[in-house]
């Protein structure tokens, strides 16, 4: 069984950041859960703060450069994602949203994902269901049933740890079933796919004529 690549994306801004703290705990829990199923795992942490300028440039120019290009590639090829955002004005942060706005269409089709968020008060806990789940449904990711929300007061509470472990176990199950090589959800063809293996023109002609059967 090949090594499972898990990418943890966190959008915390302050140092230290409770968002990064939750991201670290989730990353550790996912590694433990995948290993418990007898698979090898590699967890990579990506912080968005150092990419903020590159992300704004991407919005304006339409292309990624340097570290951002490499990071977007890592997300595209990840077997699973853990995404963690602070709550800003009752939703995910703008920086978090920009990152997923510039991802190429289809980049995380079918990718299992844990959605997680932090806030200063538990009254924001529904952000997972009102903001994060619709976003990742739109991106056609496979969201695990357990989301993880942590208000300041939750850190140090064993119930948070329990939810983290539950979400990690659900994610681990999704990426260790079967050979792991067959995606659960069929991914849309990307520009990269098309460059590597172009659709023959005769087929493009048929599709232009309304024949959508591949």
Q: Which residues bind another protein (CB under 8 A)?
A: 56-57, 59-63, 65, 191, 194-195, 198-201, 204-205, 207-210
Q: By C-beta, is 69 or 184 nearer to another protein?
A: 69
Q: ∠ CA(12), CA(140), CA(188), 5° rounding?
A: 120
Contact 20, 12 (CB under 8 A): yes
Q: Which of 57, 131, 143, 69 is nearest to 104 (CA)?
A: 69
Least Å from the CB of residue 36 to another protein = 41
- Is-contact 68 99, C-beta < 8 A? no
Closest distance between another protein and the C-beta of residue 138, in Å? Answer: 17
Q: How far is the CB of 80 from another protein (least distance, A)?
A: 28
Q: Which is nearer to another protein, 62 or 145 (CB)?
A: 62
Distance (Å, whole) CA 41 – CA 112:
15
What's the min distance (Å) between Cβ of 74 and another protein? Answer: 18
Give the nearer residue to another protein in terms of CB position, either 42 or 207.
Answer: 207
Question: Looking at the DSSP assignment, which residues form a beta bridge with residue 4?
Answer: 41
Nearer to another protein, 63 or 122 (CB): 63
Cβ atoms of 5 and 73 closer than 8 Å? no
Query: CA dihedral defined by 109, 164, 179, 136, rounded to 10 degrees?
Result: -10
Measured CA to CA in angstroms, residue 22 lies from 42, 205, 206 at distances of 18, 51, 51
Nearest approach, Cβ of residue 97 and another protein (Å): 18
**Smallest separation, CB 210 to another protein (Å):** 6
Nearer to another protein, 61 or 158 (CB): 61
Cis amide leading into 16 (omega within 30): yes
């Amino acid at each position: 069984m090949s090594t499972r690549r898990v990418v943890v994306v966190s959008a915390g801004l302050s140092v230290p950041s409770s968002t990064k703290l939750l991201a670290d705990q989730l990353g550790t829990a996912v590694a433990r859960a995948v290993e418990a199923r007898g698979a090898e795992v590699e967890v990579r942490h990506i912080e968005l703060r150092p990419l903020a300028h590159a992300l704004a440039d991407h919005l304006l120019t339409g292309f990624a450069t340097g570290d951002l290009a490499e990071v977007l590639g890592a997300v595209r090829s990840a077997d699973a994602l853990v995404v963690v955002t602070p709550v800003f004005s009752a939703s995910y942060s703008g920086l978090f949203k920009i990152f997923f706005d510039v991802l190429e269409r289809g980049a995380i089709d079918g990718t299992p994902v844990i959605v997680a968020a932090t806030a200063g008060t538990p009254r924001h806990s529904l952000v997972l269901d009102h903001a994060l789940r619709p976003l990742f449904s739109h991106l056609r990711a496979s969201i695990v049933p357990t989301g993880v929300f942590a208000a300041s007061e939750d850190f140090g509470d064993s119930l948070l740890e329990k939810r983290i472990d539950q979400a990690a176990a659900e994610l681990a199950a999704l990426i260790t079933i079967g050979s792991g090589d067959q995606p659960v959800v069929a991914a849309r063809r990307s520009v990269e796919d098309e460059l590597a293996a172009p659709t023959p023109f005769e087929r493009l002609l048929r599709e232009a004529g309304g024949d959508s059967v591949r």
